[in-house]
């Protein structure tokens, strides 16, 4: 009897501990998820760790989904309903990261009205590959076959001599018939290039002053059928996450060194998030000063759809992928990082009806993103 009583007491004790551990784990995971989902509304300068959680939103979401599933299996309906409501209130972040739309391909085929194809692509120095008549540069070859009307390029670094890479002369010779209007603005003095390839006349082009060593933004005013249209090509501060650094982070994960990983990520990423906040505010102020609905902001934001920088720039505009894209749409893929950091935002004059990240394209560490847009009715 004494042994049975002892085992019974131990069983009760273990159940009690496990129950409270499940409560604590649920509370901790839910708190992290809430901070991650609502990170776009919290300036990084005030609470930078929250911005870090936003960057890893998919992982935090999966953790919350597992917790939600656990309480569903346990049939603890009050907790389950509470967690379900949190998903409802955070639906904007979920749908921003992974939009799902039906009938997009049919819309692309059926729509016969006036339209534009806008493409944005971080070309990473045109892949640092040469260009020749027998062996065209992969990036230039893709751009020539893209049939886009407007192409915004980031990191469009050109060589002075064709022996060192792609030159402006080669770009004009190879793409000039399709894109007679080409403008290149250095992001900074000595920084990478922001280029616009256009089928329509470029009336003005200027750099938007921004604090950075190599990144920046440029404004182009073009004429489309007699209507003034504004393009802002953006390349926000880069994280400069090398493959070696990514592997180092993965090693910390494998060894279970959570605090070391947290410190490493915070020291590397926190200053960049604060840069993004300042830069996004500068671009947004500039965009607002144009006082036009015929506005397109596109480029490499170096931040995901669940971020302060994206939310700031998207305000009063439409994200083409969220509105007319499907799935995760990763635009930057490496061995350790999979994120959508390239975006196209549209003013109220334009409506996207088909958007895609072209993941089959080689030649850069990014994939191009394009959208078909029509006049808003």
Torsion angles phi and psi, residue 128, rounded to 5:
55, 40
For Cα atoms 184, 220, 343, give the angle at the middle one, nearest 5 degrees. Answer: 90
Let me know whether 203 and 117 are in one domain.
Answer: yes
Burial pattern 88-108, b for ≥16 Cβ within 10 A else e, equals eebeebbebbbbebeebeeee
**First-to-final CA distance of the chain:** 81
CB 50 within 8 A of CB 39: yes
Last residue in a domain, options 97, 126, 149: 97
pLDDT at site 24: 92
Let me know whether 279 and 343 are in one domain.
Answer: yes
How many CB atoms neighbour CB 167 within 10 A?
A: 18
- Residue 23 belongs to what domain range? 2-97
Let me know whether 93 and 116 are in one domain.
Answer: no
Nearest to 304 by CA among 276, 334, 326: 276
Let me know whether 222 and 184 are in one domain.
Answer: yes
Let me know whether 253 and 371 are in one domain.
Answer: yes
For helices 77-89 and 2-37, give the axis angle rounded to 10 degrees.
Answer: 10
Let me know whether 287 and 212 are in one domain.
Answer: yes
Per-residue pLDDT tens for 172-216? 999 999 999 999 999 988 778 999 999 999 999 999 999 998 999
Burial pattern 22-31, b for ≥16 Cβ within 10 A else e, equals beeebeebbe
pTM value is 0.90
Let me know whether 48 and 113 are in one domain.
Answer: no
Q: How many domains does the chain have?
A: 2
Last residue in a domain, options 66, 81, 97: 97
Let me know whether 209 and 351 are in one domain.
Answer: yes
Per-residue pLDDT tens for 157-176? 998 888 788 999 999 999 99
Per-residue pLDDT tens for 33-82? 999 999 999 999 988 888 888 988 999 999 999 999 999 999 999 999 99
DSSP string, 301-344: -SS-SSSHHHHHHHTTSEEHHHHH--S---SEE-SS-EE--EEE
Torsion angles phi and psi, residue 102, rounded to 5:
-100, 150
Task: Compare 134 and 323 and report the one with higher pLDDT.
Answer: 323
DSSP string, 198-259: ESS-EEEEEEEP-S-SS-EEEEEEEEETTEEEEEEEEEPPP----HHHHHHHHHHHHTT-HH
Let me know whether 82 and 126 are in one domain.
Answer: no
Let me know whether 45 and 129 are in one domain.
Answer: no
CATH code at 345?
Answer: 3.60.10.10
CB 236 within 8 A of CB 301: yes
Let me know whether 204 and 86 are in one domain.
Answer: no
Let me know whether 185 and 212 are in one domain.
Answer: yes
* H or E stretch covering 356: strand 350-357
Last residue in a domain, options 43, 72, 97: 97
């Amino acid at each position: 009897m004494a042994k049975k009583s002892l085992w019974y007491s131990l069983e009760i004790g273990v159940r009690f501990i496990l129950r409270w551990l499940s409560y604590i784990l649920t509370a901790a995971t839910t708190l992290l998820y809430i901070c991650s989902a609502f990170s776009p509304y919290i300036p990084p300068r005030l609470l930078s760790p929250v911005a870090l959680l936003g960057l890893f939103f998919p992982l935090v979401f999966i953790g919350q989904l597992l917790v939600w599933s656990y309480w569903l299996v346990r049939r603890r309906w009050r907790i389950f309903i509470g967690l379900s409501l949190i998903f409802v209130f955070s639906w904007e972040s979920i749908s921003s990261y992974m939009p799902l739309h039906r009938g997009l391909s049919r819309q692309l085929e059926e729509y016969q009205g006036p339209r534009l194809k806008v493409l944005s692509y971080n070309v990473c120095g045109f892949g640092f590959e040469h260009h020749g008549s027998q062996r065209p540069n992969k990036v230039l070859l893709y751009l020539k076959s893209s049939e886009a009307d407007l192409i915004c390029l980031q990191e469009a670094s050109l060589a002075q001599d064709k022996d060192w890479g792609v030159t402006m002369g080669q770009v004009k010779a190879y793409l000039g018939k399709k894109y007679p209007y080409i403008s290149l603005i250095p992001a900074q003095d000595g920084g990478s290039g922001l280029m616009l390839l256009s089928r329509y006349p470029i009336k003005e082009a200027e750099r938007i002053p921004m604090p950075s060593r190599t990144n920046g933004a440029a404004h182009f005013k073009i004429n489309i059928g007699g209507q003034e249209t504004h393009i802002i090509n953006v390349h926000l501060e880069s994280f400069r996450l090398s493959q070696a650094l990514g592997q180092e982070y993965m090693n910390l994960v494998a060894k279970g060194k959570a605090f070391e990983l947290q410190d490493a990520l915070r020291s590397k990423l926190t200053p960049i998030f604060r840069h993004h906040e300042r830069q996004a505010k500068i671009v947004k102020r500039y965009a607002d000063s144009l006082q036009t609905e015929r506005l397109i902001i596109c480029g490499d934001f170096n931040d995901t759809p669940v971020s302060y920088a994206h939310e700031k720039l998207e305000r009063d505009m439409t994200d083409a992928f969220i509105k007319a894209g499907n799935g995760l749409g990763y635009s930057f893929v490496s061995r350790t990082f999979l994120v959508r950091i390239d975006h196209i935002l549209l003013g109220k004059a334009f409506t996207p009806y088909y958007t895609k990240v072209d993941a089959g394209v080689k030649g850069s560490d990014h994939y191009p993103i394009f959208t078909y847009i029509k006049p808003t009715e």
